Structure 1
Amino acid sequence: MSVSPSTLSLDVPTFLAVESDDSAAVAGDLIAAAVSGNLTVSITRSGGFEGAVTVTVENLPAGVTVAPATIASGATSTTLTLTAGATAAAGNATITIRGTGTGVTARTATVALTVVAPPGMSIALSANAMSVVQGGTGNTTVNITRTGSFTGAVNLTATGAPAGLTIGFNPQSATGASSQLTVTVGGSVATGAHQISIQGSGTGVPNSTVTLTVTVTAPTPAISLGLNPSTVSIQQGQSGNSALTITRTSFTGAVTLTSSGAPNGMAVSFNPTSTTGTTSTVTVDVGAGVAAGNHQVTISGSGTGVAQASVVLTVTVTAAPGSIVLSLAPNALSIQQGQNSNTALTITRTNFAGTVNLTFTGAPANVAVAFNPAGTTTNASTVTVTVGAAVAPGIYPITIRGNGAGISEATVVLTLTVTASGGGGNITFTFCAQTGIPLWFAFQNFGGPWTAVAGNAGVYNFTVNPRGVVAWVMQDGAKTNLEVFYGSSIDLQTRGQNLCTGAGGTKTINGTAANIPVMDIATINMGTGGTTLFAPGPFQLTNVQDGLRDLIGVRQTIAALPVTNSIVFQHDLNIANNGSVGTIDFDAGLPPDNRTATIANIGADQAMFSASILSKNRSVGAIHSELPGTTTSRPWKAAKDALMLAGDWHLQSVVATPTGNMTGFPYRSVTQFNRFAADRTYTLPAFLSTPPTISNNGTAPYVRLNVTWAIQGADYNDFWSITFSPASGSVSRVTVSGVEGYFGSGPVALHIPTFDGSFNPAWGLQPGIQLDWIFMAAGGPAWGSAVFNPTAFEGAVGYSAAMAGTYTP
């Protein structure tokens, strides 16, 4: 028995197909139909056997069936039809064909049967569901399985996605086993679950479809920070900026900015500090003492309901170039013709240890200036000034100059007052155009008579030892002012030499102010010359003292009170009369720093905190003022450290009066000097507990008053004054003052003396005219024996208090 063919392949049905021995097929609609194949079974008869033969099939795989067949009597072959059902598994099998007949031995033959899978493909997702935030993306993989003879491309598509949600495939037409599916969710897509059909299709094979569930969620509110640049390089004593960007996600609230990690002497500020916007300017102020190198400063942003965000700013601090500052103590000498005197020169060094060579300019003929040493690597030298006998009396500014390799020249002015020989005296009072020339000048050595002194070009010489009193009268318009001062010989000499600065003259300075916006106000001051501007344009400063001066420009926004927004500070200007400082550009100035003053011992009173810049060359610029208040914490505006040179001071004052008081009296105050501003506490002293005792000591030919006061504690033990202002008459005011060097531990006796016959009675107070009086007492380290001007040194504190009243002699 033989079987033809000896191998047979059957396709697992998917499409309607008619299979024949030559495997020809016709495709049709998808149905659950079987696929068949035919075998021809042939026999060889012998021995006279002509009977029928029954043909059966053994070892058929599951799902494959065969119809029974018989070889009829006398015939030699039949056809077997094998059918692969829909459940037949693809694979190889060996089947046995058995033929049996009556009276003959059964015969078998084997056939190799192959069940072949039909062409096809299917798709599946590595993740059938994903969660994607609004504005975000998600990914999954489309896995492709090919069956049968199908090797073609599978085209991928998606349906059912809502508007704003897109599905992308990479690749769209896949010839491999997978494709990357990307879900992109727009910010406006509704939250919730979205069912999306993913379909694969190929030529000659059925489509395959899976469902992807995309759950859209709202984003978590968040912020992030960025800096441009993230690294700033700043020289010691200078400042630098970086632009901060705030990226917001579902958050519109205020972001508050802070910093941490800055070393001592480095201040970080923000403009604005709290913002609902997306930007802020970070300003880093590097003090002169901050170590050079890289410093990591963490900038943090926080808001309600969002996690704090941080970014690191790298501050590279570079060493400041070497510099020196010269100062003199005293900065004025009064020397008689043919004599000499000394002053101490101090050299303040910054990053410079080399030799400083000292020279001078501006000395008149026959005035010699010598330095010991003239070249020094130390911080001090003694300046000796020798005045020739022929030098004319007068005031001469001498410029002391210091130079060193690789540094800029530093200068300081020594004011030399030359007095006539034979004039005698250990005390010199010098008046000038800045002060005016007295109508009358006199002195009294302690216990001696009053003696009038005739001045020489505004210079008055006399002898007082160890203490005494001076008095002078100045013209004040149509009226006069009388001033009386009690002090030791040292106090008198100091007072007499501090009346004038520079050469004693004054000058006019011109300039142009730029960038003063509407609703801003600007002040520009040089020494005693100043102006206030409400718009950009030209300006003029009059009554500026001769010699070196500093310019302080302050621009403020007009609110309930002006608020400083820019400070311009130019040092060591010596501009000729009617010269120009050029353009003062307030946009080129530095913004102020924010500081907080804490007022202690305010009690139930009201107080005002104010601050000014007092420059090394005696210019003043007001940078903060406020209305009276009862709170203890006061924010204020301060100059940046980079603006403040050695000898410059923040002058900070607190003045307290009883709550509701509108007259300004009584008051109590504390004043403090600091080069650099900081958050500090200022402790107010007590009010004056008792008024001065005022009594008549005579009324003809003018009123002489006795004023006594018992010293009230250590806060008020250095300086005292009382001013009388008549309600009418030819006298504008009479001021009597004195210091501890005269009165010691007290009591204080500020009397209006009985002068000698050279005093014009019209210059004195007259009986029957009411007098408004103001009495002031002062003390503390800042006062000492400083006469009228407090002594400025780091942390120096001064106290003062005053009360007012009336008296009719």
Structure 2
Amino acid sequence: MRRLQLFSFALLALAGCSGGGDGDGGTVTPPPTPTIAIALAPTTATVARGATATTTVTLTRGGNYTGAVTLAASSSNTGVTVAFNPASLPNGTTASTATITVGATATTGATTLTFTASGAGVTSATSTLALTVPAPGITLAPVSNLSIVQGGSGTIPLTITRTNGYTGDVTVTATNLPAGVTAAPFTIGAAATTGTMTVNVAASAATADSAQFTLTASGTGATSTPITPRLTITAATTPGISLNANPAAVSITAGGGTNSAITVTRTGNFAGAVTLAVSNAPAGMTTTLTPASLAANVTTSQLAIATTAAVAAGTHTLTVTATGTGVTTKTEQVVVTVAPVPAISISASSSALTAAAGASTSTGITLVRTNITGDVTLAATGAPAGVTATLTPSTLSGATLTSTLNLAVAASVAPGTYPIVVNASGALTGGGTTSAQVTVNLTVSAAQGYTMSASAASLQQGGTGTSTVTITRTGGFAGTVNLAVSNLPSGVTASFNPAAATATTSTLTFTASAGATTGAFTATITGTATGIANVTTTVAGTVTASGGGGGNVTARFCDAAEYPLWVASRNGTTGAWTRVTAGANQTYSFTITGVGGVAWAKPDGNNGFAVTVYYGSAQELTSYGLAECANNPAGGKSLTGTFAGLSGALQSGQVSIGGAFASSTFGQSGFNLTGVAMGNTDLIAFRANTTINGTSVSMVPDKGILRRNVNYPSGSAIPTLDFNASEAFTPASAQVTVTNPSGGLLTVIASFQTGNGTFGGFSFGNLTGGGSGANTVYGLPSALTQAGDFHLVQATSTVVVNNLPVSARSVTLFNRDLANRSVTLGPDLAVTGSGLVTIATTPYARLRVNGTWQSEYGDMLFGTFSQSVANVNRSWVVSATRAYFAGASTFEVDMPDFSGVAGFDTNWGLRAGSSVSFGAVAYSAGGATATTEGLTIRSASVYGTRTP
């Protein structure tokens, strides 16, 4: 501590010595020069008239300057002012906020603001800010296109938006209008943003289809961009009249009369008087029109028709003629039916009856009245002893025109033919009677009875088979025959439908358990009927072992993930469904002799089931069974790849190779492909831009890549698909014109498939919001196509209600080269009602699609049904070809009842009480069985939901 104090004293002494004296042994340092500097943030600003902006002024002091600094700003634009907060910066304050205000008189354009900082004893500092005052503007909102009749007028609703401080009046003018069309300029006041312009079309103006004209908004010192709506001028209607008679057909009795209202309809602005006249009245008939001349405000006249007793009976056609000045004469016919003289006649539904002794028979007796309304009495004569004739009713009154003649034949009546005469008699108004008669010949045969026969039946273990039991009735026997069966082998049960037969046949269904005794058997059928001895017959049956047996139709499954849980077939349209078990290599063989069906159930995702049913001819079923492996082949490669040359969120890359497809969007470039077909195939890729405008969505490709006959190893990476590389080509385009969209949401797209196994499922064109005019589609240039390649151009009109499709119609064209084409959509699908009928709810819900075959969609139809209950998805697809229906004009496609077929799990069926989404689709390929140049496929569908 003492050393520190001594050192401090030494320093003080040294300082005292160096501070004075006469010599120049010391140096004096001058004080630093005070300085200030300012910086602006930001240094640029764009401010409209009437608006403000701010910048922060930051002060930097130097040379120990501590004085106050005053801020100021100047500009050559006199309408711009600057205010500072604070305007003076004392020592310790380093920033101020400058508020820039642009007045209404400020000059537009670029100007420089100079900011100055000054203080006492220091050099002033400056900094500049680049200010832009934008010009005032006016935006005119788009308007809808106009349609005006010649000689008429229309209005345009106007909406403007003022920008950049503009507040004045706005005048909207229309220019480039067609000849004969005028529209006065309309001014929207400073306080308003909307108005209405009136467009007048002279009667002499020519018709025009979507003529473009210009609307321009202007204001003092303001800029704007014109818009170009379109005007359609339609032809004025021609003045005319039409006639209508109500009723147009009347009936009267000779000597009577009636009326018909004659209505005149004026069209095309015709308002003149109309004169009426009647011609072609026969002798004995007079006509009167009240009034005969209809003034401009009168539309109806009463035609009174009167007859005498001498008028001829029959049909007479009166002609009513209407004339008016400047309009074409019109006529209307009134058909007058004059009834003849009152009379009656009777007829028998059958004039020859047969009945066995001890039985009965009957026929209907029908009365025809002619100008007679009173009661008619019936009576039967000529019946022999033992035959009782009864007429029910025996008196026909009012609207009752039929009676039943019942002939009860006693067992004692000898066989032979007996004429029975039915007499009818009725009273005439004013006195007298009229009568008629008809003869019914009764042939009596021997006593009643019946015989039975049964066709052979065949069934598999676990399946069913049927036999038709035929009942041949004799002697007029029409009673109920009760059927029973006995002598069945072990494990086989049987049932009749109906068990109480009132007709000539009954279906006997045999059901064999999985362990039923195999081999031939003979069962006994016994019939019992009241008053007749029991009748028996035998039926021959065969039980075969279950398993994947042989047959002329084979279905094969190649993809292990698509192996079915269960398969069944049916031979014919009414035969029993029989389970088919797998043979070698997942094949299922069965026999179809003409037409029939095949069905299978597969797992569908997690805890789901999918049932497929297909009805067709043996040849069609063969093709369908082989197509399963083509659609779901075994194995397949996995590939990866990368797109190059993509930019923007709405630009995408799409690639298809060997039946697999992948895409990349939103700035991503990598993709993965699975299930790529083995061997050589083709690769197609496109770069496309998506445009969304309201409800319209379009996808337009601008580059494509085609690589033929490639075979990339499984697990490898495809060489980069660079849309900016030399191998990329510019897609071709064509125009597709669609007629008859009928108000649906129109989609017009094109896809491409090569002859080497690649289908480019690219949807290019108007995905939604297409129009009935020309729609652009995209594909490959003709120079890049080869034999076997096809462009698929598809136009679809979908009717959407509450954001859900309810029906659709589609046309697909197959052509190698892309070219301008026109398509016409067909009619709506002709279904009955909604197209869907619930036919059962147990043991699972079953539905039916029904309707009428149409020539436009005459090859095949589908019914699709799906539901999700408690996280279990169930779907059924039931399809049938026209060949299956054997030329019938209507169709009914049912979900079959498989509950009695061995191995079927009713849990695979739809659940009753839960909503089912369904679709019915019919299509036609013009009879084509393969894809060829010019192939056209038409389809129509309906969609909906139903709770069975």
Same fold (TM over 0.5): no
What range describes the TM-score normalised by the shorter chain of this pair?
Answer: 0.3 to 0.5
Q: RCO (CA 8 Å, sep 6+): is it higher in 1 or 2?
A: 1
TM-score, length basis structure 2: 0.38
TM-score, length basis structure 1: 0.45
